[in-house]
A and B are shown apart, each in its own frame.
Chain A
């Protein structure tokens, strides 16, 4: 077979690019036009950017050169880290507990009435549409500064997402066991307890562990609006331009998050066998 034969066999593949996939060209053109538009829209100027990065030189230096390391307030940093962990833990536990009934009620396996389901689902959508930091700001208004507002923010924001994930897990559960129980005359509660829960419980636990992981990250930033934890220490130090201490805290956070990731992965593998 010569080259020409191959070309004849697969004429489409050997077309020039613009005829083979015109969408690639159109899409790239749109992207380029959009980039040009946004340079204009945001008044993007490279000289300004370079100036700004020039200003960051001392920051980058002090991230590596730590002055008076021994005189830093390690006590408050340690308390902040502990608070962050505790906030994540409490928020996740509370959200997981309330998400079990909410998630089940939002599932079509449990509630037949589509109106109830619709209302609960839209309510969950509403909760999820508001970022956790906005919740934190609102709770700080009502409960004052401190970690309690952070716990509540995590609790509310997670309820929105966890309930949705729980309800999807329940939706995807196998019908056979439920039907078996119904056909042998079990009550509604018993059907849920022995037909549905054993199927979905491992998924629920694994999702909650995931959320504990991600909450230990988001609990970090809640301090920026005054909702306690290590974020408060971090943002205070950044505002006062103690960049070396700020960088130290960031490193601690990264290490903490990595440890929690490992632990939760190990737990998931041990108990759920994922």
Chain B
């Protein structure tokens, strides 16, 4: 390499670096302006933040159980034992079971509706463009509104209880799975469907034998993912009275039953994490079985 080309290379490198630095500088300024603007809108003042931090620490130390290593396994009458902390365990388990069932039922119902609608909402399988447009827009609406907003509405109409929560989650699940399912359909291979059409299959058999076998593993995997999300959602729907353990959590937080707060949150975390692990295992197996 001659000296001249080396110099040219250096020049080019410096030019690119400078361009990049300019961009980064520009971006940094935009972000800083954004932070300043947002802070003024939400009134983040440092004194409030600093005053709140010790209170947060206090609160956390209050909700943690005072366990005593000497009396850890004694009965629920004695302070410091595990069973004193979890004296309400049967109630929690009952409520967690309800939470789990709410999420499972909403996932089953929601993914069924989503499956039925997804054929209409996918560009390559929709029988006509008006239906396609209508279904797409309504799925967007149901996906866009958070389930807890639906839950407030249904609690008002149907009364306090898990039914309101199930319907709310079903609507939201239909919206989001419907979109994901229809995208899977759109990415599927058209050849099998065309072969069925060419040999005289109707729309139904096209979907059933040409499309479904291809996309089913993906659909199940998405539905399982949604189940994980719904488990999380169903733990909080109780905040507005829509059933599940959230109702109890809301109550103990507002009435300052300190140790029960940590007891319930710990149970929720254990449930959520174990269901996540189980569903992850299932999803991996479904996808791997598909690849074989």
Contacts and interface: CB of A to CB of B under 8 A. Distances in A.
A59 interface: yes
18 contacts: A38-B101, A56-B153, A90-B42, A125-B273, A129-B268, A129-B270, A129-B272, A130-B265, A138-B56, A142-B52, A143-B56, A147-B43, A148-B49, A150-B42, A224-B148, A224-B239, A254-B145, A257-B144
Contacts of B166: 42
Q: Is the interface of B mostly helix, strand, loop or mixed?
A: helix
Nearest to A122: B273
A133 B148 CA distance: 10
A221 B146 contact: yes
A49 B265 contact: no
Most buried by A among B38, B43, B250: B38
Contact of A143 (B52, B153, B235, B240): B52
Interface stretch (A69-77, A80-88, A108-116): A80-88
Interface string A202-228: 000000000000000110110011001
Given A141-B253, A143-B52, A224-B148, A131 B43 contact: no
A130 B268 contact: yes
The contact size tier of chain B is 35 or more
Interface of B: 31, 34-35, 37-39, 41-44, 48-49, 52-53, 55-56, 58-59, 101, 104-105, 108, 140-141, 144-146, 148-149, 152-154, 156-159, 161-163, 166, 232-233, 235-236, 239-240, 249-250, 253, 265, 268-270, 272-273
A131 B273 CA distance: 12
B56 A142 contact: yes
A166 interface: no
Contacts of A22: none
B235 A147 contact: no
A221 B148 CA distance: 7
B10 to A, nearest CB: 18
A125 B273 CA distance: 8
Contact of B43 (A49, A52, A148, A250): A148
Nearest to B167: A49
B269 A129 contact: yes
Nearest to B105: A38
Interface in A1-54: 31, 34-35, 38, 41-42, 44, 48-49, 52-53
Nearest to A225: B239
A126 to B, nearest CB: 6
Contacts of B153: 56, 59, 238
A34 B108 contact: yes
B31 A93 contact: yes
A34 B102 CA distance: 12
A142 to B, nearest CB: 4
Interface string A230-274: 000011001101000000001001100110000000000000000
Interface of A: 31, 34-35, 38, 41-42, 44, 48-49, 52-53, 55-56, 59, 82-83, 85-87, 89-90, 93, 125-126, 129-131, 133-134, 137-139, 141-144, 146-148, 150-151, 217-218, 220-221, 224-225, 228, 234-235, 238-239, 241, 250, 253-254, 257-258
A131 B157 contact: no
B66 to A, nearest CB: 19
A96 to B, nearest CB: 10
Given A130-B265, A134-B236, A254-B144, A139 B149 contact: no
Contact of A90 (B39, B48, B265): B39
A93 B35 contact: yes
Given A52-B154, A148-B44, A257-B144, A86 B37 contact: yes
Nearest to B109: A35
A31 B250 contact: no
Nearest to A143: B52
Which of B58, B233, B240 has the most chain A CB within a 10 Å cutoff?
A: B240
Contacts of B250: 137
B22 to A, nearest CB: 14
A86 B36 CA distance: 10
A48 B148 contact: no
A15 B166 CA distance: 39
Contacts of B236: 131, 133-134
Contact of A133 (B159, B239, B265, B272): B239
Given A52-B157, A87-B38, 14 more contacts: A48-B158, A55-B157, A56-B153, A85-B41, A86-B37, A86-B38, A86-B39, A138-B253, A142-B55, A143-B49, A148-B52, A151-B42, A151-B44, A253-B145
Nearest to B56: A142
B253 A137 contact: yes
A44 B163 contact: yes
A85 to B, nearest CB: 8
A134 B56 contact: no
Contacts of B141: 254
A146 B42 CA distance: 8
